[in-house]
Structure 1
Amino acid sequence: MANFSIRLQNCVVLVAAMPMTIERDLHMATGNGETSYTKNSRIQEKVMFQIKPVLEEATRAAYSALLPRTMVVADLGCSSGPNTLRFVSEVIGIIARHCKEHDRRHDYPQLQFFLNDLPGNDFNNLFLLIQQFNKSMARNHKGEAAEALPPCYISGLSGSFYTRIFPSESVHLFHSLFSVHWHSQASEQLKDTKNKCLDIYITKNMPPSMVKLFQQQFEKDFSLFLKLRYEELVSGGQMVLTFIGRKHEDVFTREPNHLHGLLAQSLKSLVDEGLVEKEKLESFYLPFYSPSVGEVEAILKQVGLFNMNHVKVFEINWDPYDDSESDDVHNSIGSGENVAKCLRAVMESLVASQFGEHILDKLFKEFAHCIAEHLENEKTKHVVLVLSIEKAIIHV
């Protein structure tokens, strides 16, 4: 019995020491609570509103190119909040409008939606939302003619989009919002590098060799992503991809870096208090990269499988509830709390896998304070890149 206890204790230690993996540990905060992604995804909602014209153009192009009887649409990195169903509703509306404008309202296509994310995604919550969505659609159009909207079918699909997830030439439209800038894996070279500055993302203090590892991982991952989607798209198929990115080619620009620098600052304060082990922070990096337009275009050109239809860059306030165009922050404390909640909904699974769940409340309270101090001096914005591309015809 004693030997069994020893082996069991050893097993527990091994499990606790498992390194972070993207497939297991990257997912938005689950459920419907105050810190959930469902309650803290207004930034994504605002971005979806901004990209509506791009999505409309790509959806119409994908449909009109082939007039499929069944149009297959996939949302990659869908998460589980209401924005996923907003995307579904938007595509349904676009197709309905297009068919009515071209006198095809009696000949709607069937719409098959696949909502894809990693296995840790809160699919249970997503399926409940789908059920509510279907009931809402039925209520809203009760008593209307059968051709009021095209029929739609919605399915969840678990798996990494850095693998093949669809049959060859089966998808007409791919969409991904704030997902493709995440790496396929945490860089082993970064984890093996002693991070004496305790930075978790790119800063001006970071050695160029380490910055290059972030860039190389993105180039490798995005190239793979494009090649996989090329195989899965039909001829004339479209993709709309939206990234957190940079306005400038300089990788050290503060736009995407400063918010994560404040998170690193908050983690350092917990190291000083003895709540976080310094060694754990030394080996922790955020597994994503915020690209510039030039970098995205260079990879597209190198891969050579897609034609660029549209690229757009715009900014959006850090605070998801600040809709003003002014440079003033009227309530820095409230804005700090809003921004911290938004980032917690995205980052807490990664933070918890490295440092433990017990630090989350303390960490993000400190983070909100750091953001508020920053916003008192400077109103800062996210930079968003939206890209619309079409599968190219390759002549062999």
Structure 2
Amino acid sequence: MEVLNSQSQSPTQSKLALENVLGMKGGDGDSSYVNNSLCQLKMVQALKPILERSIHENMRFEFNRRGILRIADFGCGTGQNTLVVADTIVRALQCSLEEREMPEFEVYFTDLPSNDFNLLSYFAAAVCGSHFKRLFPQKSLHFCHSSASLHWISQVPESVQQRRSPRVYVSNDCEGIVGAAYLHQFNTDFTAFLNARAREIVDGGSMFISLVGRNAGTQLMEEQGILGNIARHLEYAFEELVNEDIVEREKWKSFYIPWFGPSLEEVESIVKKEGSFEIGNMRVLGGVPMHPMTHWKQGEEKMFGIFVANQYRALFENIIEVHLGSERLTDEFFLRIAKRASTQFEEYIPKEIELVVALLIKNGAHNNSY
């Protein structure tokens, strides 16, 4: 069952099918996203002081007497990470408003319908839907946030789907065709995201985004940093299953990961071309520690392999299982990742990550009351 790139589906059908399976793995089991998102928490913690400073320096809206300040986290996932973000935003806004009458706060957690909202220990409201579309009324939000989400694109580019190559991402694209197609899809999706938020955010409201990117000097056909590294490990698992005649080669050739790691210059260009937001600040944050098991010890190889496999299951189990069509084959797939990680552990320890971080301010009158 090919969900990500079936040639029998229209682009709209393919995109809708992807929306239904792309969520991180739910529940609270050993391989759930809740129990395998420490890397993402490290990103949140690294960005916390930047987020707080961005709020203090760039708040440009006022409240009327019935002031309600509305916050939305786009691509929230599940578990404590999004709660840490929401708490950070509310506290920073409270500090910025300390000399005024304190408004009431409304917080919205948004993600695809396949997301498991049940394991948020509290929520003000859960909003299901793709953040590449409108989700809120016009001029209803004051502060928006998106972390580790926007590098996931809405679909694998059609031209890439037609290549049927044993590559699940941009790597080894010597002609640059695949990389250009992914960039075009990211451009389309990110522009749609900005356009939707521009209609939903009040004039002078802000949006803080961070996404996995790459150094400006990295060519499109090269590794794409951590994203390319992870893609290579998925290719190894497919290759082993194909060589063992457990999975047909066509299953490998028809699977691609729907994500793209842009450079700062690419993100900046799209924001300026879309035109709805002023760039408060934008930077690449490098050297963020990524892996909680960087310092492995002799004798822990098997445990390390299981740990890595659970991390990958949390991210990819849903789309892998739909693509392979069976729970048994999915288990075999992640078993190969565990075995290889236990023997080639140095390849599976990404010591740092590059993030593109930006504070964007909605263009318009800065002193309106809402």
TM bin, normalised by shorter chain, reads: 0.7 to 0.9
Aligned mate of 1:52, from 48, 53, 57? 48
What is the one-letter code of the residue matched to 2:90? I
Q: TM-score under structure 2 normalisation?
A: 0.85
Q: Is the 8 A contact 1:118 1:159 kept in 2?
A: yes
**Distance (whole Å) between structure 2 residues aligned to residue 277 and residue 368 of structure 1:** 21
The sequence identity of aligned pairs, in percent, is: 29
Equivalent residue number for residue 315 of structure 2: 346
| Cα separation, partners in 2 of 1:66 and 1:60, compared to 1, 3 Å | farther
**Distance (whole Å) between structure 1 residues aligned to residue 293 and residue 206 of structure 2:** 32
Is it true that 1:201 corresponds to 2:193 in the alignment?
no
Describe the superposition over 1:110-150 as per-residue Cα deviations: whole angstroms up to 9, x where unpaired: 11111101111112333xx117xxxxxxxxxxxxxxxxxxx
Is it true that 1:164 corresponds to 2:134 in the alignment?
yes
Q: Is the 8 A contact 1:329 1:376 kept in 2?
A: no
| Cα separation, partners in 2 of 1:368 and 1:315, compared to 1, 3 Å | farther
CA RMSD of aligned residues (A): 2.5
Q: Is the 8 A contact 1:244 1:385 kept in 2?
A: yes
Equivalent residue number for residue 195 of structure 2: 227
Is it true that 1:216 corresponds to 2:184 in the alignment?
yes
The farther-off stretch of 250-259 and 54-63 is: 54-63
What is the one-letter code of the residue matched to 2:56? R
- Could you list the runs of 5+ residues in structure 1 that have no partner in the other structure? 1-13, 132-153, 323-327
| Cα separation, partners in 2 of 1:42 and 1:207, compared to 1, 3 Å | same
What is the one-letter code of the residue matched to 1:320? P
What is the one-letter code of the residue matched to 1:314? G
What is the one-letter code of the residue matched to 1:113? V
Q: CA deviation at 1:270?
A: 0.9
Q: CA deviation at 1:90?
A: 1.5
**Distance (whole Å) between structure 2 residues aligned to residue 208 and residue 201 of structure 1:** 12
SS in 2 for 1:349: helix
Equivalent residue number for residue 80 of structure 1: 78
Aligned mate of 1:355, from 324, 335, 341? 324
Equivalent residue number for residue 182 of structure 1: 152
Equivalent residue number for residue 25 of structure 1: 21
| Cα separation, partners in 2 of 1:279 and 1:184, compared to 1, 3 Å | same
**Distance (whole Å) between structure 1 residues aligned to residue 58 and residue 202 of structure 2:** 9
Q: Which runs of structure 2 are paired with 1:229-378 in the superposition (5 Å)?
A: 229-249=197-217, 250-254=219-223, 255-256=225-226, 257-310=228-281, 311-322=283-294, 330=297, 333=301, 334-356=303-325, 357-376=327-346
Q: TM-score under structure 1 normalisation?
A: 0.80
Q: Is the 8 A contact 1:270 1:276 kept in 2?
A: yes
What is the one-letter code of the residue matched to 2:182? F
Q: CA deviation at 1:317?
A: 4.0
The farther-off stretch of 38-47 and 335-344 is: 335-344
SS in 2 for 1:51: helix
Q: CA deviation at 1:226?
A: 0.9
| Cα separation, partners in 2 of 1:162 and 1:376, compared to 1, 3 Å | closer
| Cα separation, partners in 2 of 1:169 and 1:289, compared to 1, 3 Å | same
| Cα separation, partners in 2 of 1:32 and 1:166, compared to 1, 3 Å | same
What is the one-letter code of the residue matched to 1:353? V
| Cα separation, partners in 2 of 1:377 and 1:19, compared to 1, 3 Å | closer
Describe the superposition over 1:162-214 as per-residue Cα deviations: whole angstroms up to 9, x where unpaired: 1111111111111111111111123333222221xx11011124542222211
Equivalent residue number for residue 135 of structure 1: none
**Distance (whole Å) between structure 2 residues aligned to residue 124 and residue 164 of structure 1:** 23
Q: CA deviation at 1:273?
A: 1.5
**Distance (whole Å) between structure 1 residues aligned to residue 167 and residue 235 of structure 2:** 6
Q: Is the 8 A contact 2:156 2:258 kept in 1?
A: yes
| Cα separation, partners in 2 of 1:284 and 1:300, compared to 1, 3 Å | same
**Distance (whole Å) between structure 1 residues aligned to residue 39 and residue 167 of structure 2:** 25
Q: Is the 8 A contact 2:42 2:290 kept in 1?
A: no
Describe the superposition over 1:199-251 as per-residue Cα deviations: whole angstroms up to 9, x where unpaired: 10111245422222111111111111111111111111111111111123322
Larger Rg: 1
Number of residue pairs matched by the alignment: 344
SS in 2 for 1:271: helix
Higher helix share: 1
The farther-off stretch of 54-63 and 39-48 is: 54-63
Q: Is the 8 A contact 2:14 2:155 kept in 1?
A: no
Q: CA deviation at 1:370?
A: 3.1
Question: Higher relative contact order at CA 8 Å, sep ≥6: structure 1 or structure 2?
Answer: 2
**Distance (whole Å) between structure 2 residues aligned to residue 317 and residue 95 of structure 1:** 28
Describe the superposition over 1:48-101 as per-residue Cα deviations: whole angstroms up to 9, x where unpaired: 11111222133335655324611110000111211121122212222333344x
Describe the superposition over 1:280-328 as per-residue Cα deviations: whole angstroms up to 9, x where unpaired: 2111100110111111112112222222222232233442344xxxxx6
**Distance (whole Å) between structure 2 residues aligned to residue 109 and residue 202 of structure 1:** 47
